[in-house]
């Protein structure tokens, strides 16, 4: 089982065996969204923010 | 950006796209695309020979208000530079690089009449098109990917009353209409997040003195969030305006796309590779994604160069740097999708020969 540390709350996050680069996951402990930014070495970061924007 | 400049010079407000459509049909044919104009005037252009179909769906029409086309300080000015000929030009320039692709067929579609009723997009749904993924051409800025749009529904209010002297306390028809507008504004107060809130906008109000009758006609535009309760709106209107004739237009529901799929991942990777810091956008307007997203049910985002704060403004312009970066990102996205498709095709081939 692949595991990484949540950069927000520090708890351990389990990753699926078939995890892919740029996949977005949720930390079960704090609920924040994480993005797998690298597979080798395995590294996650906070997922891109969602911004509201006017227009089309 | 010569292509985009030419596209801007062919002024094309909604329902006047014919000249631009014919130019693109002929120009893209010279570039190696298979091109045609469909029954409503949409540009349909295809390039590549692969089994995976990537649809790049922009629109050819703009809002009205012609802006002289010019380049100043690295910015291209013109109606539609941002909304959304810039996106359509990026689609074309990136797609042309996949002429020899055996993995992808890239469809570049220029819809008509997005700005008024999404007529072109609705027509696409009547065709047997089955894309594997879709990019809608709207300005997100080169570092961002748009995941969703609010919906909309128009409210047409009409009230007739016998005239009263203006010295009398009886409200005028105009005041009654404005009271209706205010009641809706109060029913749907602004929330913390605009994407999750209803926005009530007064678009037009006219009063008429017809001698024995006063008349008011008012048009409101409601921008609506996901899960908006249309039945509850109708019930509320019946309560606050029992004497008025109120008609709701054909509603366009809000839409929010999934962000955990190969298409979104390809964008995140490509934006970072180009030196950007990706973000997601949720738009308070509407686009053809509202029509095509729920119907096609495949991975979909909106992407394109430009600052949407310039949409519909007399100052509409696009920076050349922004345009080039968006093109770089989209080309990398198509390359990523092509590589993944090729691997999948090879895998399927190996399984077939076993």
pLDDT beyond 80 at B260: yes
Q: Summarize the confidence of residues B284-305 as an average pLDDT.
A: 97
pLDDT band at A21 (very low <50, low <70, confident <90, very high): very high
pTM, whole model, 2 decimals? 0.93
Amino acid B229: pLDDT? 96
Amino acid B168: pLDDT? 75
Amino acid B190: pLDDT? 87
For residues B68 and B177, what is the distance between their CA atoms, to the nearest angstrom? Answer: 39
Strand order in the sheet with B70-72: B70-72, B75-77, B317-319
- Answer yes or no: are the C-beta atoms of B29 and B78 closer than 8 Å: no
pLDDT band at B348 (very low <50, low <70, confident <90, very high): confident
For residues A10 and A29, what is the distance between their CA atoms, to the nearest angstrom? Answer: 9
For residues B302 and B306, what is the distance between their CA atoms, to the nearest angstrom? Answer: 12
Assess B144–A contact: CB distance below 8 Å, yes or no: yes
SS3 of B274, please?
coil
From the list B61, B119, B138, B311, the catalytic residue is B61
Amino acid A56: pLDDT? 73
Q: Summarize the confidence of residues B64-84 as an average pLDDT.
A: 96
Of B83, B149, B279, the CB nearest to A51: B279
- Answer yes or no: are the C-beta atoms of B294 and B304 closer than 8 Å: no
pLDDT beyond 80 at B52: yes
Integer-rounded Cα Rg, in Å, for chain B is 23
Tens digits of residue pLDDT in B107-159: 999 999 999 889 999 999 999 999 999 999 999 999 999 999 999 999 999 99
Q: Where in chain B is the domain with CATH 3.30.70.360?
A: 151-248
Task: Note whether B282 contacts A50, CB cutoff 8 Å.
Answer: yes
% of chain B surpassing 70 pLDDT: 100
Assess B336–A contact: CB distance below 8 Å, yes or no: no
Give the A-side interface with B, CB within 8 Å. 20-24, 35, 37, 48-56
Averaged confidence pLDDT in chain A = 92
SS3 of B289, please?
helix
Strand order in the sheet with B245-248: B199-209, B214-224, B151-161, B245-248
B82, with CB counted inside 10 A (0-12, 13-18, 19+), is: buried
Amino acid B5: pLDDT? 98
Please identify which residue in the block is written with the tokens 């067929």. Answer: B105
Beta-carbon neighbour count of residue A17 at 10 Å? 7
Tell me the chain A residues in contact with residue B281 when contact means C-beta distances shorter than 8 Å: 50-53
What ranges make up the beta strands (E) of B212-275?
214-224, 245-248, 255-256
Task: Note whether A52 contacts B147, CB cutoff 8 Å.
Answer: no
For residues B37 and B53, what is the distance between their CA atoms, to the nearest angstrom? Answer: 19
From the list B17, B83, B93, B114, the catalytic residue is B114
Task: Note whether B285 contacts A21, CB cutoff 8 Å.
Answer: no
- B171 φ, ψ (degrees, to nearest 5): -60, 145
pLDDT band at B69 (very low <50, low <70, confident <90, very high): very high
Q: Does domain B151-248 have CATH number 3.10.270.10?
A: no
For residues B189 and B118, what is the distance between their CA atoms, to the nearest angstrom? Answer: 28
Tens digits of residue pLDDT in B190-247: 888 999 999 999 999 999 998 899 999 999 999 999 999 999 999 999 999 999 999 9
Task: Note whether B280 contacts A21, CB cutoff 8 Å.
Answer: no
- Answer yes or no: are the C-beta atoms of B219 and B155 closer than 8 Å: yes
Question: Could you tell me if residue B52 is left (phi over 0), alpha (psi between -120 and 50 degrees) or otherwise beta?
Answer: beta
ipTM: 0.93
Assess B311–A contact: CB distance below 8 Å, yes or no: yes
For residues A49 and A33, what is the distance between their CA atoms, to the nearest angstrom? Answer: 9
Please identify which residue in the block is written with the tokens 């070495």. Answer: A41
Averaged confidence pLDDT in chain B = 95
Mutate to test the interface with A, among B145, B259, B276, B311 (most CBs of A within 10 A): B259
Q: Is B114 in the active site?
A: yes
Of B83, B278, B287, the CB nearest to A48: B278
Q: Where in chain B is the domain with CATH 3.40.630.10?
A: 2-149+255-350
DSSP B180: H
Tell me the chain A residues in contact with residue B138 when contact means C-beta distances shorter than 8 Å: 56
pLDDT beyond 80 at B40: yes
- Answer yes or no: are the C-beta atoms of B284 and B199 closer than 8 Å: yes
pLDDT band at B7 (very low <50, low <70, confident <90, very high): very high
Cβ density class B196-230: b for 16+ within 10 Å, e for less:
ebbbbebeeeeeeeeeeebebbbebebbbbeebee
Give the CATH fold of the B2-149+255-350 domain.
Answer: Aminopeptidase (3.40.630)
Partner residues linked to A10 by β-bridges: none
Task: Note whether B284 contacts A55, CB cutoff 8 Å.
Answer: yes
Q: Is residue B119 within a helix (H) or strand (E), and if so which, with residue range?
A: helix B119-124
Tell me the chain A residues in contact with residue B264 when contact means C-beta distances shorter than 8 Å: 22, 24
Task: Note whether A56 contacts B193, CB cutoff 8 Å.
Answer: no
Q: Summarize the confidence of residues A21-36 as an average pLDDT.
A: 95
Tell me the chain B residues in contact with residue A23 when contact means C-beta distances shorter than 8 Å: 260, 265
Tens digits of residue pLDDT in B162-192: 887 777 778 999 999 999 999 999 999 988 8
Task: Note whether A51 contacts B139, CB cutoff 8 Å.
Answer: no
């Amino acid at each position: 089982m692949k595991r990484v540390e949540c950069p927000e709350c520090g708890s351990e996050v389990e990753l699926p065996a078939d995890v892919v680069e740029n996949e977005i996951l949720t930390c079960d402990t704090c609920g924040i969204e994480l993005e797998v930014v690298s597979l080798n070495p395995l590294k996650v970061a906070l997922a891109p923010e969602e911004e509201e924007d006017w227009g089309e | 950006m010569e292509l985009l400049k030419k596209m801007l010079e062919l002024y094309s407000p909604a329902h006047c796209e014919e000249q631009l459509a014919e130019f693109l049909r002929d120009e893209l044919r010279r570039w190696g695309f298979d091109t045609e104009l469909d029954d409503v005037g949409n540009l349909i252009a295809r390039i590549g020979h692969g089994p995976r179909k990537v649809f790049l769906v922009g629109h050819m029409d703009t809002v009205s208000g012609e802006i002289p086309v010019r380049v100043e300080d690295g910015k291209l000015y013109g109606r539609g530079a941002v909304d959304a000929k810039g996106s359509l030009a990026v689609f074309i320039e990136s797609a042309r690089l996949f002429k020899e692709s055996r993995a992808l067929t890239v469809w570049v579609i220029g819809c008509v009449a997005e700005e008024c009723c999404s007529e072109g997009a609705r027509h696409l749904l009547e065709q047997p098109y089955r894309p594997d993924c879709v990019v809608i051409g709207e300005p997100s800025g080169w570092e961002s990917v748009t995941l969703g749009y609010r919906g909309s529904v128009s409210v047409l209010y009409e009230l007739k009353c016998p005239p009263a002297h203006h010295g009398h306390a009886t409200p005028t028809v105009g005041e009654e209409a404005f009271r209706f507008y205010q009641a809706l504004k109060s029913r749907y107060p602004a929330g913390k997040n605009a994407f999750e809130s209803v926005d009530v906008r007064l678009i037009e109000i006219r009063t008429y003195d017809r001698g024995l009758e006063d008349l008011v006609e008012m048009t409101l535009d409601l921008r609506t969030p996901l899960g908006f309760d249309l039945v509850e709106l109708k019930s509320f209107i019946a309560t606050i305006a029992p004497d008025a004739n109120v008609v709701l237009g054909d509603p366009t529901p809000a839409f929010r796309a999934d962000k955990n799929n190969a298409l979104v991942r390809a964008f995140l990777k490509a934006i970072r590779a180009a030196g950007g810091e990706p973000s997601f956008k949720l738009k308070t307007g509407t686009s053809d994604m509202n029509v095509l997203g729920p119907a096609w049910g495949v991975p979909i985002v909106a992407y394109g160069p430009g600052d949407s704060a310039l949409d519909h403004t007399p100052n509409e312009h696009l920076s050349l740097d922004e345009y080039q970066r968006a093109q770089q990102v989209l080309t990398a996205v198509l390359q990523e999708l092509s590589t993944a498709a090729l691997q999948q095709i090879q895998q399927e081939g190996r399984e077939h020969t076993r």
